[in-house]
């Protein structure tokens, strides 16, 4: 059991070394894109929630 666990972690370390990590510019650009997308989706969901709550309020 311990041999399997140690082999697993050796393989994980081996795979992590193969990863091509993003540069600083790419990381910042991706982070900004994600933040903008999250804000847009949050605004959209908030707007839909507001409209639906008003419509339900009118019906009831």
Tokens of 56: 């339900």
Confidence (pLDDT) at 60: 87
Q: Name the residue among 35, 33, 37 with its Cα closest to residue 45.
A: 37
The domain ranges of the chain are 20-60
Which pLDDT tens digit goes with each residue over 10-54? 999 999 999 999 999 999 999 999 999 999 999 999 999 999 999
Q: How far is CA 52 from the centre of its chain?
A: 27
CA distance 29 to 55: 39
Confidence (pLDDT) at 32: 99
Buried b (16+ CB within 10 A) or exposed e, 32-51: eeeeeeeeeeeeeeeeeeee
């Amino acid at each position: 059991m311990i041999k399997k666990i140690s082999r697993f972690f050796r393989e994980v370390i081996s795979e992590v070394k193969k990863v091509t990590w993003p540069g600083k510019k790419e990381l910042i650009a991706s982070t900004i894109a994600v933040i903008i997308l999250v804000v847009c989706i949050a605004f959209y969901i908030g707007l839909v929630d507001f409209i639906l709550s008003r419509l339900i309020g009118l019906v009831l």
